[in-house]
Amino acid sequence: MLSVYRNMFKVPDLRNKILFTLYIVLLYRIGAAIPSPGVDPEAVQAITEGGEQNGIIGLLSLFSGGALEQLSVFALGVIPYITASIIMQLLTGVIPRLQKMQEEGEGHRITQWTRYATVVLAVLQAFGFTFLFRSGSLTGGINPITNDNAGTILLVVVTMTAGTALVMWLAELITQRGIGNGMSLLIFINIVSALPGQFGIARQTSSSIWIFVLLVIIVLLMVVGIIFVEQGQRRIPIRFAKRVRGRRVMGGNTTYIPLKVNNAGVIPVIFAVSVLAFPAILVTIVPSSSDFWVSIRNFINDFSAAGSTGISSTGGLVSTGMQTLYISILFLLVVFFTYFYTALQFDPTKQAEQVQRQGGYIQGIRPGRPTAEHLEKVISRITLPGAVFLGVIAILPAVLSAIFNIQFGFGGTSILIVVGVALETMKQVESQLMMRDYDGFLA
């Protein structure tokens, strides 16, 4: 393994890409630590040190590497881009014109629209979070905004929006000139940077060292399971008929259609968590005018906290019943969105038509509609274990928190993203090394 890392720096092109990526990551982490103008550093320190944030902020802050709760220049980080990308993927799957553009090689236009949507969403989210922080409802009554005038609020919003645009540019630089997918790598860095703090909190809230050790072992087993499932696929063999041209025999070769067990990736978990987090944001925006509404707000905040920080509105751990409710709904939503997103990503009819146009066929299956029905049957069968696996991974940290009565905010979504990005980056480095006759990670 050490020889692999030495080989990585023996290749000048690969070495430059790695160093460039590390340089961009360093700039990104510096920006995530610089507070926005108009924000009180002492109030931010009180929020972060005292843990004075509700469940939704704790969850989103994990994806921003702690930048959101500090209201830094890169406070929004990759959150607007993730939202815009998901929206564009959904629209591409249901709008024929966008599908046609994607198929005809005009994906760059969709990418440009995603950038515009990212900036628009950044403005909206910057205004939303600024007003929420200003109200103190997300931070235990602490207002980190120095002045309540329009100029200060506008300054914070403009800074956060510009920071999002800069993050998007840095991510694209990594994709073009570095190693791996830039946006995915920045998400990876954000989550990894929060790991020590999350495990530290888990250690402090665990009743004994052995429970904490057991928790670490379970997380490692989750990582192994994710690697196994992410690499798993069902290969559908495709045969091509032999054709005689003059004295030459053409075709007759065999290939396959790879159908992944987890074809939807981490998107279903993100969808499910977003749906569950939306009520918490909504009740925070709407002012509390009665005791009844306050009780509803506390219930929803406790429900949201059951999947992130584990801290209730009263300051203690959320109840077991609340955790059970959250776990059950989250599992069902993940399974539903896995089937939903897989249906958007893989169209059996189009795949069957493409195979038929290329002169291929599946052994024992007639071309055309029978092939499409066969592919649909196979993808439905392998999606079920993938959906159940995603659901289990998504709820397992919350289950562990409920069983051991500890605070553990590092969710299954984070583990899926970290492992997935690490695997993809390793594959890219592997291909670069193999092209130059060096041993890779799997050699």
* Res. 136 pLDDT band, cuts 50 70 90: low
- Cα separations (Å) of 16 from 188, 275, 413, 419? 21, 41, 31, 24
Q: Tell which residue, 368, 146, 395, has the closest CA to residue 268.
A: 395
Instruction: Count CA within 13 A, CB hemisphere, residue 284.
Output: 28
Kindly state the average pLDDT of the residues 49-68.
60
How far apart CA 119 and CA 337 sit, in angstroms, is 26
Q: Is the pLDDT of residue 166 over 90?
A: yes
Region of residue 246 (left: phi > 0; alpha: psi -120 to 50; beta: else): left
Task: Say yes or no to pLDDT of 328 above 90.
Answer: no
Residue pair 25/77 in contact by the 8 Å Cβ criterion: no
271: amino acid identity, one letter: F
Question: Can you tell me the mean pLDDT for 314-321?
Answer: 59
Residues in the chain: 443
CATH number of 207-405: 1.10.3370.10
Q: Report d(CA 180, CA 420) in Å as an integer.
A: 11
Cα–Cα dist 190/29, whole Å = 9
Residue boundaries of the structural domains of the chain: 1-196, 207-405
Cα–Cα distance for residue pair 177/16, rounded to 1 Å: 9
- Condensed to tens digits (0 to 9), the pLDDT of residues 107-125 reads 788 888 989 999 998 998 8
Sign of CA dihedral 257, 260, 264, 265: negative
Of 117-131, 251-265, 327-341, the poorest mean pLDDT is in: 251-265
- Decide if 1-196 and 207-405 have a common fold: yes
Angstrom distance (rounded) from CA 300 to CA 284: 10
Burial class from Cβ neighbours inside 10 Å (0-12, 13-18, 19+) for residue 270 reads buried
Domain 1-196 is of which CATH architecture?
Orthogonal Bundle (1.10)
How far is residue 112's CA from residue 15's CA, in Å, rounded to a whole number?
30
Rounded CA Rg of the chain: 24
From residue 238, give the alpha-carbon distance in Å to each of 39, 226, 253, 255, 380. 60, 28, 9, 5, 19
Instruction: Find the mean pLDDT for residues 192-202.
Output: 77
Residue 66 Rama label (left phi>0; alpha psi -120 to 50; beta): left
CA quadruple 137, 141, 144, 148: dihedral sign: positive
Percent of the chain at pLDDT exceeding 70: 77
Q: Answer whether 355's CB lies under 8 Å from 336's CB.
A: no
Count how many Cα atoms sit within 13 Å of the Cα of residue 238 in the half-sphere of its side chain: 23
Q: Is the pLDDT of residue 248 over 50?
A: yes
Residue 296: its pLDDT value, please? Answer: 75
Q: Give the model confidence (pLDDT) of 94-105 as tens digits.
A: 788 887 877 777
The pLDDT value recorded for residue 52 is 47
Q: Greater confidence, 367 or 405?
A: 367
Residue 15 φ then ψ, to 5°: -60, -45
Q: What mean pLDDT is predicted for residues 347-355? A: 84
Tell me the per-residue pLDDT of 408-442, one tens digit each, with 9 for 90 and over.
666 677 788 888 888 888 888 777 777 766 665 55
CA distances 154 to 122, 131, 138, 284, Å, are: 13, 11, 20, 21
The CB density around residue 324, as the number of other CB atoms within 10 Å, is: 14
| 378 vs 301: which has the higher pLDDT | 378
> Distances in Å between the alpha carbon of 340 and those of 110, 155, 334, 346, 414?
22, 40, 10, 10, 21
Ranked by mean pLDDT, which of 173-177, 224-228, 434-438 comes out on top? 173-177
Which of residues 248 and 133 earns the better pLDDT score? 133
